[in-house]
Amino acid sequence: MPSKKTSKKSAGRKKAGKKKSSARKATGKSAKQRARPSTASKGARATKKSAKKSAGKKKSGVRKKSMTSRIVETAKQVATDVLTGAATGAVIGAAEAGAEAVQDASRTAKREAEAAAP
């Protein structure tokens, strides 16, 4: 009698060429992916978490400034000082020039008055 070869496969194994289930065909996702919550609900959860964090413990203390912000702040101060100095110098120069013009005009008027009075 010829002996039959029996294959011992477990009932839970899948065949290599098995077709996709109808749920997987419709969504294109595996059962594990379908079980996950959607990204919309994830966003809602994240918003709730961040709201809880901000409503809870407040951070106290000063935040340390970065090197770039320090450099920018120093540059602003220097630029402000330079522009203030330049503006002050311009005003002083204009005042001196105006004062000299007034002095010259008063000298000229004085000379004309002396020349006309004798």
pLDDT digits (tens, 9 = 90+) for 46-74: 566 666 665 555 666 677 889 999 999 99
Asked whether residue 97 carries a pLDDT value surpassing 90, the answer given is: yes
* pTM for this predicted structure: 0.36
Q: How deeply is 2 buried, as exposed, middle or buried, from its count of CB atoms within 10 A (0-12, 13-18, 19+)? A: exposed
For 100, the 3-state DSSP assignment is helix
Asked whether 31 and 42 are in contact (CB, 8 A), the reply is no
Give CA–CA dist 61/46, Å, rounded: 26
Asked whether 34 and 27 are in contact (CB, 8 A), the reply is yes
Stretch 21-41: mean pLDDT, rounded? Answer: 63
For 33, the 3-state DSSP assignment is helix
